Amino acid sequence: DVKVTQSSRYLVKRTGEKVFLECVQDMDHENMFWYRQDPGLGLRLIYFSYDVKMKEKGDIPEGYSVSREKKERFSLILESASTNQTSMYLCASSPQLGAREQYFGPGTRLTVT
């Protein structure tokens, strides 16, 4: 079975802090994605990556950056956390070819105070 893990289930940070959210997948998938999910807005794509050291902006990249130094790991970075970044963050991965099925991690509930 595909397994996507996220470093924390719950995280509380202060405004202005630098925040790292980590995602690891164990199926050698090329594609990895970061989404945020908010009530009334649904899931929105922040960034995605096709391969190591490659990244593409999604629909809402402002205030975020990403890092992919190894194929299995995709990190989301909040350079200076703000209260409007309080949200559920979901990571996903998929094989590259053929627009295959996406597999999601359990999510990280981030609260910025």
Give contact residues for other proteins (rule: CB under 8 A). Answer: 4, 31, 33, 40, 42-43, 45, 48, 50, 56, 58, 88, 90, 92, 94, 96-107, 109
Determine the residue type at 75: S
Tell me whether residue 63 or residue 103 sits nearer to other proteins (CB atom).
Answer: 103
Q: Is the dihedral of CA 40, 31, 52, 1 positive or negative?
A: positive
Q: CA dihedral in degrees (82, 13, 10, 54; nearest 10)?
A: 60
Least Cβ distance, residue 54 to other proteins (angstroms): 12
Toward other proteins, which CB reaches closer, 17 or 28?
28
